[in-house]
Amino acid sequence: MTTLSVLTLYLAEALGLYLILIGLSALAAPQRWKAIMDDLATSPGLQIALGLSVLAIGIALAIAHSRLTDPLAIIVSAIGWLALLEGALLIAVPGPLLRIGHWSLGFTRIWAIVALILGIALALAGLTGTAGLPGHPTV
């Protein structure tokens, strides 16, 4: 896959690794995700701390990479903007997000497999992709 930016490739690798780790975690210990959601639901301090962390990552990704130049760049940018939105919601109005999180616990294995597939796809795209103008790769 060719993208215009080397940064897109690096971020695809990093986000792919993150998704792979999340997927493996959910498959290996699904009960841990229930405990995480229970902790998050009962701790406003944890909601703010996690919200600030996710917001910071989302803002950094949105500032560094808001590109709509090719499919991989769009995916990487969308993940950054979704992280920004998730962090903002956790800080401002965590209730709806927590309800979605608790509901999704019934599908932990499914979203874990989806995360693994997307993670592997992103990591491979980042590792095997090239950056530059189509037909004139620079990396």
Kindly report the backbone phi and psi dihedral angles of residue 65, in degrees, each rounded to the nearest multiple of 5, phi listed first: -145, 80
Residue 86 tokens, joined: 């998730």
Spell out the domain ranges in the chain.
2-128
Q: What is the pLDDT of residues 76-124, one digit of tens each?
A: 999 999 999 999 999 999 999 999 999 999 999 999 999 999 999 999 9
| pTM, entire model | 0.90
CA of residue 113 relative to chain centroid, distance: 14
Q: Is the pLDDT of residue 75 over 80?
A: yes
Looking at residue 21, what is its pLDDT? 98
DSSP letter at 134?
T
Q: Does 128 have pLDDT greater than 70? A: yes
Percent pLDDT > 70 in the chain is: 96
Q: Which residue reads 């944890």 in tokens?
A: 46
Instruction: Give the model's pLDDT for residue 137.
Output: 55
